């Protein structure tokens, strides 16, 4: 039975590529993915697979009820894009939407899940349990799409949830995950400084917002180095500085923004407190005013040990060319974390590195090895079937 499903997935590879390339040409930003959601819904309608649309926003959830008894397992793919102007101008399937690009592989996630659904639907009478195919919008921007989708209760009946991310940091043919912490919590901060501007030749009459901002940036580097237990993991990154309008004018205002990555709530709170203390102290010393805001984003992705173990042990059975390895956690963030707070499950990376194409996720020249979509679809199927075997027998 299962061999027929895997072979069917393989026969649909070219269709997955066609789907991925179509979606790549017409990307949509988070919370705006109406046409993409319609495309997904139309695909399920054409196949005759039952589905719900507009779940928690633009979400689409399809359900394949197997002909044999078993558990209900959800498989998730996201489908939003990023505000990036694509620079892969040589690609015939480059983005047609100005300033918007699938620069993280979500087009591939959607294509592989649709391909898997079509393959399984053909053999649904032989399928154990129920497969729930979750197409989630808005992963890229907090508060994200996972939380409102879950709040609808659409997955309350699910026993477990799995997901994978095409990962260009990892070699093609390799599956990576971890038992426990796998991806970091991702927060954002903003610091606004109000000083006193003036002539560039008369700095003594000003409160230079750029100098103050520079002191803050330098001092923030000490938070992780000197205030966080060295056996813990954290990142504080200042991503933007906006200040000044002319070379000979001392700026009266400056704005900083950035991200904090942590795994543990106590580390997160220590960093938040220290950042504000540093900002307050430097601004008070300079006689400037400030506004500090700290926005808690996605929680860390904490895989459940049994489910992650299942991925590591069973994924290679999907394809003889595959290998798995347990890795250290990534400091990248993912709203798949919300699923794992409610249900047992695991998230894993599917290696999709293109040879001699060293452009990371979120880069305007990002691309991935499309063959990895087949690995993504087949490992999701393998994990689904292995879970049924382990917990339904």
Q: Which among 373, 368, 367 is positioned nearest to 319, based on CA atoms?
A: 373
62/41 Cα distance (integer angstroms): 9
362 marked among binding-site residues: yes
Residue 107 contacts residue 166 (beta carbons within 8 Å): no
**Is 139 one of the catalytic residues?**
yes
Q: Which among 139, 137, 127 is positioned nearest to 63, based on CA atoms?
A: 127
Query: Kind of pairing, strands 289-298 and 198-199?
Result: unpaired
Residue 278 contacts residue 216 (beta carbons within 8 Å): yes
Identified catalytic residue from 107, 118, 139, 307: 139
List strand residue ranges (DSSP E) for 144-285, in order. 160-167, 174-177, 181-183, 185-194, 198-199, 234-243, 249-250, 253-262
Cβ contacts of residue 122 below 8 Å, gap of 6+? 8
Identified catalytic residue from 8, 33, 80, 319: 80
**Is 358 one of the catalytic residues?**
no
Rounded to the nearest 10 degrees, the angle between the axes of helix 265-286 and helix 209-222 is 150
Please give the helix or strand (H or E) that residue 297 lies within, else none: strand 289-298
165 marked among binding-site residues: yes
Residue 154 contacts residue 47 (beta carbons within 8 Å): no
Residue 27 contacts residue 97 (beta carbons within 8 Å): yes
**CA atoms lying within 13 Å on the CB side of residue 309:** 5
104 marked among binding-site residues: yes
Q: Which among 172, 145, 168 is positioned nearest to 334, based on CA atoms?
A: 145
Quickly list DSSP for 320-388.
TT-EEEE-PPBS---TTHHHHHHS-EEEEEEE-PPTT----TT-TT----TTHHHHHHHHHHHHHHHHH
389 marked among binding-site residues: no
283 marked among binding-site residues: no
What residue numbers does the annotated binding site for Mn(2+) cover?
Answer: 104, 106, 140, 165, 362
What residue numbers does the annotated binding site cover?
Answer: 104, 106, 140, 165, 362
User: Which residues are designated catalytic?
Assistant: 80, 139
């Amino acid at each position: 039975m299962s061999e027929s499903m895997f072979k069917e997935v393989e026969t649909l590879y070219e269709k997955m590529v066609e789907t991925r390339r179509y979606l790549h040409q017409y990307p949509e930003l988070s919370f705006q993915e109406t046409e993409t959601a319609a495309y997904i819904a139309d695909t399920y309608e054409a196949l005759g697979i039952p589905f719900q649309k507009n779940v928690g926003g633009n979400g689409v959830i399809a359900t394949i009820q197997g002909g044999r008894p078993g558990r209900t397992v959800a498989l998730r793919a996201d489908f939003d894009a990023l505000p990036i102007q694509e620079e892969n101008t040589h690609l015939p399937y480059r983005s047609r939407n100005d300033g918007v690009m699938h620069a993280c592989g979500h087009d591939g996630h959607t294509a592989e899940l649709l391909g898997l659904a079509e393959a399984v639907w053909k053999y649904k009478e032989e399928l154990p349990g129920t497969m729930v195919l979750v197409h989630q919008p808005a992963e890229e921007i907090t508060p994200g799409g996972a939380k409102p989708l879950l709040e609808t209760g659409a997955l309350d009946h699910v026993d477990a949830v799995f997901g994978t991310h095409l990962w260009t940091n990892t070699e093609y043919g390799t599956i990576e995950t971890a038992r426990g912490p796998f991806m970091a919590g991702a927060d954002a901060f903003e610091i606004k400084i109000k000083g006193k501007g003036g002539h560039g030749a008369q700095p003594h009459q000003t409160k230079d917002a750029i100098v103050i901002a520079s002191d803050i940036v330098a001092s923030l580097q000490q938070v992780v180095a000197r205030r966080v237990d060295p056996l813990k993991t954290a990142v504080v990154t200042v991503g933007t500085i906006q200040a000044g309008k002319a070379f000979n004018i001392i700026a009266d205002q400056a704005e900083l923004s950035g991200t904090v990555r942590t795994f543990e709530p106590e580390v997160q709170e220590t960093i938040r407190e220290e950042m504000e203390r540093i900002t307050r102290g430097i601004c008070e010393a300079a006689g400037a005013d400030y506004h500090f805001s700290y926005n808690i984003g996605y929680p860390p992705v904490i895989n459940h040990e049994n489910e992650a173990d299942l991925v590591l042990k069973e994924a290679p059975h999907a394809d003889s060319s595959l290998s798995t390895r347990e890795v250290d956690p990534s400091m990248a963030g993912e709203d798949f974390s919300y699923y794992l707070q409610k249900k047992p499950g695991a998230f894993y990376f599917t290696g999709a590195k293109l040879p001699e194409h060293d452009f990371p996720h979120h880069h305007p020249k990002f691309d991935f090895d499309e063959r990895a979509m087949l690995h993504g679809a087949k490992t999701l199927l393998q994990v689904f079937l292995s879970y049924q075997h382990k917990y339904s027998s």
